[in-house]
Amino acid sequence: AALAVASKPVFDAIQHLLDSSTYIHDAFVWLLDLPSPANLTPRTWVQRRTSPMTRGLDDALIRQVAVRVVLAIIATVAFTSYRRAVQRSKGFVAACVAGMLLVTQPHVVYYSSRLIPNAYALVASTFAAGCYRRGGRTWALIGGAVMAGVAVSMRCDLVLVGVPYAAWCWLGAPRVPIALGAVVGAVAAAASVAASVAFDTPPWQAEAAAGIDDVPQYVWPEGEVFKFNAIEGKSVQWGKSPWHWYGTSALPKLLGGAAPLA
């Protein structure tokens, strides 16, 4: 369900371009009735291509695969950039360890091509870490701007990574002044919120006009997520786990073979 909801804006943008009146769930077909590769024999492929309904579904599947391949390439570029930045700052052995940390974590491979906020945040945080490792105040500020922009528009809990990043930039080699870092982060966050509202409001308004949802005049999705989970304290509705869950269950599963390296 999360993949379907997150894939929808990409599908709408490709399928309908600027016609936001069609940005509604009724037109979303990427994850509905998609063919199984085992059933795509030459004969069934011809049959599907001659049917208007299944031909549209197959075209949507092709578009989805193409977009996910592009996202996977972007993620690979971010990972490679980070490894090279580590090699320049810490040497070849450290770069090899960093590379193994990336490729041996199951969730990294799993998320790299998925059209969900987790994947976007993964790419952004990896790119930002690479910027910091490149050295210099300018690169540190660029990484911080990316981190701040993605945190307020796609994944608010990226703040948990952004705060240590800001501390490193302030206390580490770049020695970025607090005031300068705060201004750059605030400008990047404000621009990202404005872009998110401008991009996300029309689809939600189209759904409101179609009677699917009742939404406010302007929609900031990640702000609504933060309000629901953090301010209103309703994150408990997603379920509860014991205090040690991250250390005893989540991290071991996420790290996989990278646990000894970590």
pLDDT, tens digit, 9 for 90 and up, residues 133-165: 888 889 989 999 999 999 998 888 888 888 888
Q: Residue 35 — left, alpha, or beta (φ > 0 → left; ψ -120 to 50 → alpha)?
A: beta
- Say what the pLDDT of residue 161 is: 85
- Asked if pLDDT for residue 246 goes beyond 60, the answer is yes
Band of residue 243 on the pLDDT scale cut at 50, 70, 90: confident
Q: Does the pLDDT value for residue 33 go beyond 50? A: no
CA distance 154 to 122: 11
pLDDT of residue 154: 85
For the residues 119-133, what does the mean pLDDT come to?
86
Decide: 151 and 128 in contact? Cβ < 8 Å: no
pLDDT at position 71 over 80: yes
Long-range contacts, 104-107 (Cβ 8 Å, 24+): 104/256, 104/257, 104/258, 104/261, 105/254, 105/255, 105/256, 105/257, 105/258, 106/253, 106/254, 106/256, 107/254
pLDDT recorded at residue 211: 64
Q: Is residue 171 classed exposed, middle or buried when 0-12, 13-18 and 19+ CB atoms within 10 A define those classes? A: exposed
Q: With contact defined as beta carbons under 8 Å apart, do 221 and 68 qualify?
A: no
pTM: predicted TM-score of the whole model, two decimal places = 0.73
What local confidence, expressed as pLDDT, does residue 167 receive?
Answer: 86
Q: What is the pLDDT of residue 184?
A: 93
Residue 210 pLDDT more than 80?
Answer: no
Tell me the DSSP string of 184-202.
HHHHHHHHHHHHHHHHHHH
Burial class of residue 9, CB neighbours in 10 A (0-12, 13-18, 19+): middle
Residues 6+ positions from 7 with CB-CB distance below 8 Å: 30, 31, 64, 115, 116
| Inter-helix orientation angle 178-209/159-171, to 10° | 160
Rounded to the nearest integer, the mean pLDDT of the chain is: 77
pLDDT reported for residue 185: 92
What separation in angstroms does the CA of 159 have from each of 74, 103, 189, 241?
22, 24, 12, 21
Closest CA to 132 of 120, 111, 147, 118: 147
Q: In the prediction, which pLDDT does 256 show? A: 73
Residue 255: what pLDDT? 76
Name the DSSP class of 32: S
| pLDDT single digits (tens) 84-115 | 999 988 899 988 888 888 878 777 877 788 87
Of 152, 146, 109, 96, residue with least CA distance to 126: 146
Q: Is residue 56's pLDDT more than 60? A: no
Percent of the chain with pLDDT over 70: 72
Q: What is the token pair recorded at 146?
A: 């990316």
Residue 53 has pLDDT above 60, yes or no: no
d(CA 197, CA 217): 10
Report in angstroms the alpha-carbon separations of 254 from 107, 108, 259. 6, 9, 9
Residue 93 token pair: 């052995």
Question: Which of 51, 48, 53, 52 minimizes the C-alpha distance to 36?
Answer: 48
Please write the tens of the pLDDT for every residue from 178-205. Answer: 899 899 999 999 999 999 888 878 777 7
How does DSSP classify residue 172? S
